[in-house]
Chains A and B, each alone.
Chain A
Amino acid sequence: MNDSKKHTVKEVRLMKGNEAIAHAAVRCGCDGYFGYPITPQSEIMETLMELEPWNTTGMVVLQAESETASINMVYGAAGCGKKSMTSSSSPGISLMQEGISYIACAELPCVIVNVMRGGPGLGTIQPSQADYYQSVKGGGHGDYKLITLAPASVQEMADYTVLAFELAFKYSTPSLILADGVIGQMMEKVILPPFQPRMTEAEIREKCPWATLGKTADRKPNIITSLCLQAEQMEAINLRLQKKYRDIEDNEVLFEEFSCEDAEYIIIAFGTTARVCQKAVEMARVEGIKAGLLRPITLFPFPTTAISNYADRIKAMLTVEMSAGQMVDDVRLAVNGRIPVEFYGRLGGIVPSPDEVLKALKDKIVIK
């Protein structure tokens, strides 16, 4: 993703991750943003308001009365085949869970952005990754999954906004961008994606035949609902959803490796923590420790096979998260007891430092 050197200085911008999401949304032809402010992601709506896309692309930007209203506005817009999105931070995302479950069941495409902060409860406004379980294990009720993308740079905030919409429409399912306060707030270089026009009504009718844009004489009414009182029918819906999730697992796994070729120890981390761990790996290499980093980019689908393959080649793994240890469960399932998988984490809004990670790597796995 980091190919900024190929471009001229003019095309390269310096902005916050939150701002990059807003720019990318307008540029990829988003039809509507509905949200409610909360730190550390308020710049998303703020930037959209500054960009005034309703004057250029015609995109709607609306501050709803609550997060619950936002997600249900997204549900309504998505039902019309519109590219719609919302964003919030941890407590706000919790409020949205009912709506997210409805949208997943109704099989509608949309993008949800969670710029995580320290919890539980209202918690802090500092960075955290403690919403991993909520994001990939359900969050709301019922058997559903969200395609979950974990950006680790401002460039990826822009790129994955575009990708999240593509995947949402490809599978007719909600996509989640799971970022944290660091990536939302920090400024880095970014090359924004090219402008794509918003879909016309004719294009929506063609690409989303289920959309409720008004019935034409040649078809039955489109009904969008997540209510189905016949258990047999509801099971059929569930089986269809599960098949879709297996397709996503087969086709959409993304991850990045750093110094893994000859590694004896591999750190698994995502988002900001992966950046910190990359530095720890650089420091470990200077000390002669053969360390590597595997960064899951999609958290669902999880890079289970890639991690499993390393378990036959290396001595041990360390999972590092800004949580009490959530993704480590999925790493352990992938490794299935073949090698030790240790955990190091900081909680409540503290970002681990590269030195701490290096120390944890040595204390927990190298010395053992």
Chain B
Amino acid sequence: MELLCPAGNLASLKVALNAGADAIYLGLKDDTNARSFAGLNFTPKKLAQAVDYTKQQGKKIFLTINTFPKPGEEQRWYQAIDLAANTGVDALIMADLSLLDYAHSRYPHLPLHLSVQASATNLGALTLYKKEFNIERAVLPRVLSMKQVRDLAKVTPVDLEVFAFGSLCIMAEGRCHLSSYVTGQSPNTGGSCSPAKDVRWQEVGDRRLTRLNEVLIDQSDIDEQMGYPVVCKGRYTTEENPQPSYLLESPTSLNTLSLLPELAKANVVSLKIEGRQRSPAYVEQVTRVWRQAIDTYLNNPSAFSTQDSWEHALAKVSEGQITTLGAYERTWQ
């Protein structure tokens, strides 16, 4: 079972490998990936350094090219694929059909992973991508219950990777337009959800208003800790309830430590830690805990239980310091 960790820069990559990551995923410094934030990601030169460093450690490195090419600008995405193939990354993580087609036809030996942005949740979708583009692995959207993951794992034609920890998307990824509805930018098009340039915190008396492209997402006391503003984690009223509440989801993070045995038994091959946009300190902390947890499980599967110190360490780096099992747990749905 692989521990797959995020790197927004070389510092994160190094601490992740040092803390026990089996593999790293990263993106280029442009809109070819869905974490296109200023000050983040890798130039071609830095990518080459990242690949060299990771290989020296005997670990794997995957390049994320998971946005959808804009008409007339496809060349930028094709060049990213060419670069990846020539730099020696171990796999490409992609969602767009035309890019999968391009990579599969030109670099048939370069393994392809289906990005979560492709939103493949069922046997039919996985079969299509396997038959057409020979994908090796698919990253499952965070919408399946544990039972559904287990059922799918029994019949899937490809390896499965799941999100184990980090920010919680509650919508089927790759098909969510909430960000673009409010800001004009989405992960699919502009390369990010809730772009930082559209976020504005406004202090009014003892209240802090959180705005996204001027739309009021939430408001709180000045000293209340708030998560990064996204449309699905705001407080709104309804026709029937004038009291503002988290109608969709509260600011929480996904944490599946307690599901580790079940994920392993289901033959999930890779556990993904979310957070290319997070600091090296976050990456190190989370990687270290998950390394310990996986090793503890593998040493003696039947005796596994989560340790308070792990949960505590993960809660400290979680949004609102609260974690959830999300859709894996049926009652959450």
Q: Do A and B bind?
A: no
